[in-house]
């Protein structure tokens, strides 16, 4: 139901059915003045059942509870309308709040725009439609637009007895935010740092070279005196610096792989490149990738291509409405 992690910090495990992420960690921080609920789960009945059971068991007074969303993704924000009351303060970074409001005010138009960019990356349009239905980013998002209290880097959230500081960590999303309890060295890392899986880095209209930004954000938090990392998914036990170094090394390996593939086969689209990259997924071939996973893989390929393009290592060329990539 819930688990006490540190004094006045609790975790509620929210299961994410039919999703490779498996679970979302929703955290509750209890202060003397206010409580803070960090991240929620998909807008799905199964997620709501887990979260509401945890909140009930904790006997959390929602009148004294604010909500903090580490980023806009629907596995973190989806349940907002089922949990927030009319007067609940909902914190989100200014950058993600802007993207989120654009998306929730006109979901279909925003999605079609993303799909057009994926066609340029090599996707076939009929495959896109399958992806849309399979993608919880679209189907399990918050039911409607919601007002947020937009926050910037370094803002302090004082709960009474516990003060949390926001740390802007762009990369996974343009406005991703971690929260730091400096007194105890506890970092709520959202999806910036995960232990069992590598956070997905895709391309964003609002954040050029998202992989470059992500790696900078990793290096930034690496300098912080973090004793305990409370991740947004799955296990939250592991060494902070070791894990950051592993993730950085993972992307360096990936970047080398992309260069090698393109040197061998110049002119690939991001889609074709993704089909040739190495993935830790339990399927035999690219055709067997579940549509949602294929979508994430192409996003990963795009962010790595853009990183290399910004570094002057590759160039892309538009040929018949598709971006083709070449090493320089």
**Interface positions with Zn ion (CB under 5 A):** 75, 191, 232
> Do the Cβ atoms of 91 and 159 come closer than 8 Å?
no
State the minimum distance, in angstroms, from the CB of residue 315 to Zn ion.
33
Residue number with CB closer to Zn ion (82 or 116): 82
Task: Scan for tokens 């090599």, then name that residue.
Answer: 122
3-state secondary structure of 299: helix
State the minimum distance, in angstroms, from the CB of residue 193 to Zn ion.
12
State the minimum distance, in angstroms, from the CB of residue 65 to Zn ion.
21
Residue number with CB closer to Zn ion (75 or 181): 75
Q: Taking every pair of C-alpha atoms in the chain, what is the biggest distance, in angstroms?
A: 61
d(CA 290, CA 293): 5
Give every CB contact of residue 24 below 8 A, 6+ residues apart in sequence.
Answer: 13, 14, 16, 39, 40, 41, 42, 47, 75, 76, 232, 233
What is the CB neighbour count within 10 angstroms for residue 196? Answer: 12
Tokens representing 34?
């206010």
- Partners of 228 in the β-ladder: 186
Residue number with CB closer to Zn ion (19 or 110): 19
**CA 197 centroid distance within chain:** 12
Tokens representing 70?
């580490």
State the minimum distance, in angstroms, from the CB of residue 235 to Zn ion.
14
Residue number with CB closer to Zn ion (78 or 122): 78
Residue number with CB closer to Zn ion (80 or 305): 80
The beta strand positions in 39-176, using DSSP E, are 65-68, 90-93, 149-151, 156-158, 163-168
State the minimum distance, in angstroms, from the CB of residue 313 to Zn ion.
30
State the minimum distance, in angstroms, from the CB of residue 75 to Zn ion.
4
Residue number with CB closer to Zn ion (178 or 261): 178
């Amino acid at each position: 139901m819930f688990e006490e992690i540190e004094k006045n910090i609790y975790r509620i495990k929210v299961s994410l059915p039919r999703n490779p992420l498996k679970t979302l960690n929703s955290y509750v921080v209890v202060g003397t003045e206010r409580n803070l609920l960090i991240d929620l789960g998909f807008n799905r009945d199964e997620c709501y059942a887990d979260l509401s059971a945890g909140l009930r068991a904790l006997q959390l007074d929602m009148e004294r509870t604010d909500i903090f969303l580490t980023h806009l993704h629907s596995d973190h924000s989806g349940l907002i309308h089922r949990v927030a009351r009319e007067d609940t303060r909902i914190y989100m970074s200014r950058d993600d709040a802007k993207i989120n409001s654009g998306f929730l005010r006109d979901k279909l138009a925003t999605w079609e725009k993303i799909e057009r960019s994926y066609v340029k990356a090599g996707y076939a349009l009929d495959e896109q439609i399958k992806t849309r239905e399979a993608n919880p980013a679209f189907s399990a998002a918050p039911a409607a637009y919601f007002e947020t209290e937009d926050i910037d880097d370094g803002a302090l959230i004082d709960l009474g007895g516990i003060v949390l500081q926001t740390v802007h960590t762009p990369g996974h999303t343009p406005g991703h935010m971690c929260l730091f309890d400096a007194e105890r060295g506890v970092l709520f890392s959202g999806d910036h740092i995960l232990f069992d899986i590598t956070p997905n880095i895709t391309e964003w209209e609002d954040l050029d070279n998202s992989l470059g930004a992500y790696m900078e954000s990793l290096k930034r938090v690496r300098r912080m005196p973090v004793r305990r990392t409370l991740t947004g998914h799955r296990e939250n036990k592991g060494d902070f610096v070791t894990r950051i170094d592993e993730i950085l090394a993972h992307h360096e390996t990936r970047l080398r792989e992309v260069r090698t593939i393109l040197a061998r086969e110049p002119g690939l689209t991001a889609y074709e490149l993704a089909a040739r990259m190495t993935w830790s997924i339990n399927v035999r071939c690219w055709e067997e990738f579940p549509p949602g996973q294929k979508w994430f893989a192409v996003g990963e390929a795009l962010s790595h291509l853009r990183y290399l393009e910004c570094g002057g290592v590759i160039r892309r060329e538009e040929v018949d409405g598709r971006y083709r990539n070449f090493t320089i």
